[in-house]
A and B are shown apart, each in its own frame.
Chain A
Amino acid sequence: MSAINRGKFILVALAFGTAALLPFFDTGYWLSLGVSLAMYAVLATSWTLFSGPTHYISLATAAFFGTGMYVVGGGVDLLPYPALVLIAALTGAVLATLVGLTTMRISGVYFVIFTLGLAELIRQVVTWVQTTFTSSSGLYVLTDITESMIYWELMSLLALVYLAGWMINHSRLGLALRVIGNDETVAAHIGINTAKAKVMLFIISGTVASVCGALLAPRWVYVEPTIAFSPMISFQVVIMALLGGVHRLWGPLCGVIPFTLLWEVIAAQFPNQTTLLLGASFLLIVYFIPNGIAGLLENFPKQLQSKNGG
């Protein structure tokens, strides 16, 4: 580790330490906002781990998130909570493996289409199972886990995601993914097992989303298919990641913070127009900030230089 890297590492650790102190100051509104921020930071960053370098747009975050939530909802009376989180991680990994292996051998478009409907597909199956074999359509998750604990769990998960992302970026796998993103044909010709690299990253991304769902289940108390598999989750994650920028590990965070705050305002002020406003902000981002806020921040010094230097 070079001196600069060590400095960065200490800075990041300090930032995490400071953020982790939040529950000591407030356990009301600000903590609940903090949980939302941490949740979307986890989801958007893990989304970017896969979709950033490969340009394969996954619209399946809600599918993994809901699966994790349902694992906890279904087993909360049978098994201890940590075991359920582990099972949720495994389920997410298996699901991602299956989806990855069937769709990623071919073209990116098929993958997008498949992920678009995955949440809906699982929702239909879960609803069918519930109405056929049980009487109710929802599940209660009653635990003694407090919001502060959920916050710390999510922060630890986020730290893990960053660590994993940093390690991947500095490994052969990360290099392979960047080559795939630039030109998949070239990647295949220089001997990269493209399918394997993509599936591996998709598994990591899907597992994290499942664990995230499992961690949040106690907060929601009542789990129902339409809420757990809501397409809005996938959509918001994509929008935040794109807003922040998908070319850097810290990019999504730059989108998560402003967008979550903005969303708090929108949801309070215009509760009936959320879908419309979400779509509009999405278009604005795609058309006007294609590289995200991270891209703007990185280009800003360069632009300044070229202006000053003539």
Chain B
Amino acid sequence: MDILIGGFLLGGTYALMALGLQLQYGVARIMNLANGEMLVAGAFGAFWFYSGFQMRPFLAIVLIVPLAFVVNWAIYHYLLTPLVRRAKSRGQLEVDGILATFGMSFILVGLMLAVFGGEYFSYSYLERAVFVLEQPYGLNRIAAFCASLVFCIALVVWLSHTRSGLALRAVAVNPTAAGLVAIKVARTSAIAFAIGGAVTASGGALLSMFLTFDASIGVIFTLKALIIVILGGVGEIRGTVAAAFLLGLAETAVASLVDPGLTLAAAYLLFIVVLLVRPRGLFGSRS
């Protein structure tokens, strides 16, 4: 029961960061290997606002999200658009995108190391115990979970019930056809990439409330987000959320039953099993 609730709480934040990557990969077709660094940047942002200005993380997110949106939009517009234009096929764009974002991830790590240094960071906010079924849980964990749930629902509603969300989904299904029905594909992709980055950064800000982080931890989160996206199936929003909870559960189980140092091994095991059994993801269509 302890594991179930703990895993559920962790899965909520994972869902948020994976949805960010899902938007970037599913719509903008960029397999963003710098996704985890964007998350860590969000975490550093929240830390900086909290320790420098005593600003509550929830308030800081209001500032971090638009900032991350602008930064990611600029990254897509200035750095990735040339690759999109150069690419002759989707496969080549994938390769170029992977290489470019891989380089960017190192630049981001380098920048964060230069600004904040190589130590571990954490801050204490809402560090009170809340009892759920007679088991104590940090209030910060629960608050972060609720916030990410609100974000996730808002995102899903926006994608499935608005006109701009529909445009995004159309580009995800077929960029050429979307262009034929007067959707501005380049602009929509840029927006999707920017929103994806902003969502990921907000996930980082929420994670920073209860997790210790350092400048070079991003790659672990990139991996987790990638694994979740593939588990859930590319382009499957509900699958992503379900896979995030699955990963949260698996990690919490391994961390509390075997060893906390083996969480990535747990994620990998899950990844391999799903790859072998259902190569298109748990909820992926068999087309």
Residue B102 at the chain A interface, CB threshold 8 Å: yes
Task: Please give me the residue from chain B that is nearest to A112 by CB atom.
Answer: B98
B268 near A273 with CB under 8 A, answer: no
The A-B contact count (CB < 8 A) is: 110
Complex CA gap A114/B275 in Å reads: 11
Complex CA gap A279/B34 in Å reads: 11
Residue B107 at the chain A interface, CB threshold 8 Å: yes
Please indicate the chain B residues that have their CB under 8 angstroms from the CB of A55 in the complex: 91, 95
Whether A242 contacts B110 in the complex (CB less than 8 A), given A102-B276, A117-B264, comes out as: no
The contact string, 1 if C-beta is below 8 Å from chain B, for chain A 233-249, is 00100100010000000
A120 near B220 with CB under 8 A, answer: yes
Number of A residues near B (Cβ < 8 Å) is 41
A128 near B262 with CB under 8 A, answer: yes
Residue A308 at the chain B interface, CB threshold 8 Å: no
B105 near A113 with CB under 8 A, answer: no
User: Would you call the interface of chain A mostly helix, strand, loop, or mixed?
Assistant: helix
Please indicate the chain A residues that have their CB under 8 angstroms from the CB of B219 in the complex: 116-117, 120, 231
Please indicate the chain A residues that have their CB under 8 angstroms from the CB of B33 in the complex: 116
Residue A132 at the chain B interface, CB threshold 8 Å: yes
B223 near A280 with CB under 8 A, answer: no
Complex CA gap A272/B216 in Å reads: 14
Whether A57 contacts B99 in the complex (CB less than 8 A), given A121-B265, A235-B106, A279-B109, comes out as: yes
A125 near B265 with CB under 8 A, answer: yes
A108 near B264 with CB under 8 A, answer: no
User: Would you call the interface of chain B mostly helix, strand, loop, or mixed?
Assistant: helix
Residue A106 at the chain B interface, CB threshold 8 Å: yes
Indicate the size class of the contact surface on chain B: 35 or more
A279 near B261 with CB under 8 A, answer: no
Whether A276 contacts B107 in the complex (CB less than 8 A), given A109-B94, A113-B230, A120-B264, comes out as: yes
- Of A117, A128, A238, A278, which is within 8 A of B268 by CB? A117
Please indicate the chain A residues that have their CB under 8 angstroms from the CB of B106 in the complex: 235, 275-276, 278-279, 282
Complex CA gap A282/B105 in Å reads: 11
Please report which residues of chain B, range 155-208, place their CB below 8 angstroms from some CB of chain A when the two chains form the complex: none
A128 near B279 with CB under 8 A, answer: no
Whether A106 contacts B279 in the complex (CB less than 8 A), given A124-B262, A286-B99, comes out as: yes
Residue B2 at the chain A interface, CB threshold 8 Å: no
Subset of 11 A-B contacts with CB under 8 Å: A109-B94, A110-B230, A112-B98, A116-B226, A121-B264, A272-B113, A273-B114, A274-B110, A282-B106, A283-B79, A286-B100
- Name 14 extra pairs, CB < 8 A, besides A109-B94, A110-B230, A120-B219: A102-B272, A108-B94, A109-B98, A113-B223, A117-B268, A121-B264, A124-B262, A124-B264, A128-B261, A132-B259, A235-B102, A242-B99, A272-B113, A282-B99
Residues of chain A whose beta carbon lies under 8 Å from any beta carbon of chain B = 55, 57, 59, 102-103, 105-106, 108-110, 112-114, 116-117, 120-121, 124-125, 127-128, 131-132, 231, 235, 238, 242, 272-280, 282-283, 286-287, 290
